[in-house]
Chains A and B, each alone.
Chain A
Amino acid sequence: MTKDMSFEAVMERKGEIMKDAIGIDYDIFESGGIAFDYERMMRETGYTLEEIQKIQKETGVGNTPVLELRNLTKLARKHAPKGKGARIFIKDEAANPSGSFKARRAATSCYHAQKLGYEGVIAATSGNYGAAVASQAAMRGLKCIIVQECYDSRGVGQPEIIEKARKCEAYGAEVVQLTVGPELFYTFLVLLEETGYFNASLYTPFGIAGVETLGYEISMQFREKEGRDPDVVVVTNAGGGNLTGTARGLLKAGANTQVVGASVSLEGLHMASDTQFNKKSFTTGHTGFGIPFATWPDRSDVPRSAARPLRYMDRYVTINQGSVFYMTEVLAQLEGLERGPAGNTSLAAAFKLAQELDEDQIIVVQETEYTGAGKHIQPQLTFAKENGIEVLIGDPTEEIPGKNIILPKDPGYIETSEVDLNRIRRSYIRNCIRNNQIEKVSKEDLEFLVEDTKSSEEFVKSILDEFGVEY
């Protein structure tokens, strides 16, 4: 009863709270340095693909349809050089029980929590994952708490997040809403300790393994439909789990498909800033998560994140907010699909990337998400205007996040911007050195860094040299 509940004391107990709340002893995968045994962690604490398929089938998750976007392909070809313009397909993940691919992650987490005998589950998320956990918890008779970062200090909430709170409550969950700030983690720990519930983190091996079925299904569906794997899969990238899981699933299917990450550019906006919180029109799928989680995945709410996007990413592009809103409207108007908008980040990127590929090639947008009140281009642009953001029609490359949103004058104005992956890899290696306070890396560390950055020994050594770290 006399437990110290101060911020410092609770943060200090983080390790033990987490161990009780996830049931994984992460220490056994550690090497004592930068390296840890990622594959062993995935193997020993996760589930096999077959097991996950079975678990997801129990609650109606997965096996979502793949749709060919013929009109959109036609539109892309109008703006592509002769002979270019790959066929664009979309995997309609909105068909999952809670309206997004996140049901896959939640299905395995809730199954695991039930199997271990937890009374309930908790997740810290302002996104679709909350609804997914609440929905899966409802099916498995578990109690559910969702912790959201929702409001600024004026009490003004992002309409998209408020809609997600509503959806969680619709499934019988308790929703704890907070103002802006990373100390959300403190409240989250307090709740875990008080309730003894399972931490349905987005970043556990079960959560990520849950997404592997998505990549695997894509491969199987295309082999059946087109007799081959797709050439490119585009993934909206935030925390890295969607990309990691999808890529691992594709690899398990034996597919040699290029995996491209795409994020909305929110360059210049600070994610933990009270005054900038409502200046953005995307609450996920943006660079504010995408870049920090790629350069330091272990910032998540578990000791070691199973989401390691740099391991699997072949290319990373950004796109502006206005282009994603534009493509959301196009998807509805040309393809009769009202989805997104945040989930349409990869769609907007794919529209541009398709123009670089040959006509007989295949590019896949690997998710959609449900649309609803608050979570729709109209309320989000209305909200933007109310927060002083100008909505313009013009050249989207001139958009300044937090100041304006520029809808492309016509589809030919949609551009992606290349993220220099070597720069991201360098930051990741630097963070590994700094956060582990290391002056010399072991052979094991070196091998790990090569794998974790999908680079080469030569590249890693050049970065270590730059920072004066021995190997």
Chain B
Amino acid sequence: MNRMQIAHISDIDVKGSRTFTLGETEVALFRLSDGSIHAVENRCPHKGGKLSEGMVCGTTVHCPLHDWKIELRSGRVQEPDEGCVNTFATEIDEHSGSIYITLPSLAAR
């Protein structure tokens, strides 16, 4: 299990998103109103829109290009559309406010 520090909680606005790249993959990190942090691949399965630029409503984000709606915890595209995006596990250190991303095996990537 690999864990690496990505950001501080104050880097991301509530209902906002920031991005970082992991190898070839751009990842969008979202901060929801309930304080939780979710990381998904920053690419809508429809036409590749940047989800980080979308509007966050509850636990979903609306893609800015064609309004596809993606559930951020599961990565599932919501009806009536279909599909899913890769998700990444995150952790927040309550004391320091640091955000970590955990990957099964970074080396494997």
Answer yes or no: are A and B bound together in one complex: no
